A and B are shown apart, each in its own frame.
Chain A
């Protein structure tokens, strides 16, 4: 990638994510819910890992911790060489701006912004680089086959197109790791497969690592590796 906006050159040999004995306990009144228990996972610099498990097994919790949205109760979290286990909420916010990308299950674009503006939100909330960010947004939209749709509002886009915009938004900050939480569950099989293929090519061509949460075993072969999770415990 000869991208002018790339400021951190991630060494592909360095793991993009290290989870070490991560435990997450939700306090619910008097009872504790253990959502993750001694989760240990290492994702290589450009690896795509599928995370498969039944509902309530802790997939979203794992993604949230890996992406700096939640802090672990115990354990070590290292993303792109940066240890975030003990970060304050403020440090986590900056970390999310710079280091990770998210694609959510529900399409969560800003409804009154065009496709292109939805990508640029990342820059407005973060470093505000201006022109290079606009250049990058246009480039991403083109790669995602959305150039003709750049000026459309989310409401004027199809489900697949919206998910592609969301992928573009996740890539805007040139992250070390992108977290996909059930990116295809709102799409039909054919569209889902197209989106998975797109995820695969985008990640591979950029050498970015990804965790893709899915219920759907058919999507698994797009990943390099599958991690199974059950009741908060990982089985590789």
Chain B
């Protein structure tokens, strides 16, 4: 082990190639992971921000807001279920918004949410015609006091404050009172109007000590199967595209990890071949295969740690260099830790390919000219 560490210290150039490649792989992993996290964040913020345990859709809606309608009668039945603490209506319209001062085609992508129960970080529903905008909409030139004209019907909504991480479907959320949302929806989506008291879905807070999953079943029973109730996590995962994005990105990440394993495997297999004579001598003077292999693993892990540090630094630099809002990229500590952990695992797996060679090295070959 000491020998392996000394080799790293005295001959860093031998490991430079592997370190560089692994650092690039680390950047790639962090970039892909950060992009995925950013996409998912921007797709799911509105739901994640809900201060609720359950989300209720109509049973025919296939877990999507746009196909879902909850009538006041259904809502009353949900409210009557034992263990329901509070119920709030929720509805959303995805529309373009005109911002004064921007060009006629330069629309802000909006997700106009009508709500009753304030999500985390969002205040009580504002006055009619007013709304809280998500931070990302600042990039569209929206400020407090801006009157945004929403949709083809140009329904005016005045921004009275900002909230963070509440986006939906990659669009910036605008949180308005239920009636404001209904008027936006009915003016701009004549094909999908909503009547008074109707919402697309409900968010439900469970009473203390009530198991949300059990309560979900009770709610769906109470509505006679007219609703389908999901826990908040289920509802987030069921949002259109989220799972697909995750699986596509995770596949690319998986391939990248395989590349990392191959890089480590090839590099250290080559090093091991180069060291055949040295390992033979060391075995002759009493080294165990285990000790020699532990040295290989130590070197691979250290190379990976250094590469990860470089890769993380580059990814952070990238994060800072890319203008906010240009790409949905977030670099979270948990993503960095997970990526580094995966790379470390990959390097140990890569080393495993050298294990057999290390075991097979024959000290007898070291001592003489014997073939």
Question: Which of A's residues lie within 8 Å of B, judged by CB?
Answer: 55, 59-61, 63-64, 67, 69-70, 90, 93-94, 96-98, 101-102, 104-105, 108, 110-113, 117, 121-122, 124-126, 169, 173, 179, 181-182
Contacts and interface: CB of A to CB of B under 8 A. Distances in A.
Interface string B349-369: 000000000000001101111
B9 to A, nearest CB: 9
9 contacts: A55-B369, A94-B286, A96-B285, A98-B286, A102-B284, A104-B366, A104-B367, A110-B3, A113-B3
B288 interface: yes
Max count, chain A CB within 10 A of own CB: residue among B7, B291, B367? B367
A89 to B, nearest CB: 9
B2 to A, nearest CB: 5
A105 B286 contact: no
Contacts of A64: 364, 367-368, 370
B276 to A, nearest CB: 12
A102 B287 contact: no
A121 B368 contact: no
B285 A122 contact: yes
A125 B6 contact: no
Contacts, number: 82
Contacts of B368: 59-61, 63-64, 104-105, 181-182
Contacts of B363: 69, 96
Contacts of A55: 369
A181 B6 CA distance: 29
Contacts of B1: 124
A121 B282 contact: yes
Contacts of A96: 284-286, 363
Contacts of A61: 368, 370
A122 B284 CA distance: 11
B189 interface: no
B11 interface: yes
B283 A93 contact: yes
Contacts of B364: 64, 69-70
A105 B288 contact: no
Contacts of A67: 284, 367
Given A125-B282, A125-B285, A60 B2 contact: no
Given A55-B369, A121-B285, A182-B368, 12 more contacts: A59-B368, A63-B367, A96-B286, A97-B285, A102-B367, A104-B284, A110-B278, A121-B3, A125-B286, A125-B287, A126-B286, A181-B368
Contacts of A112: 6-7, 10-11
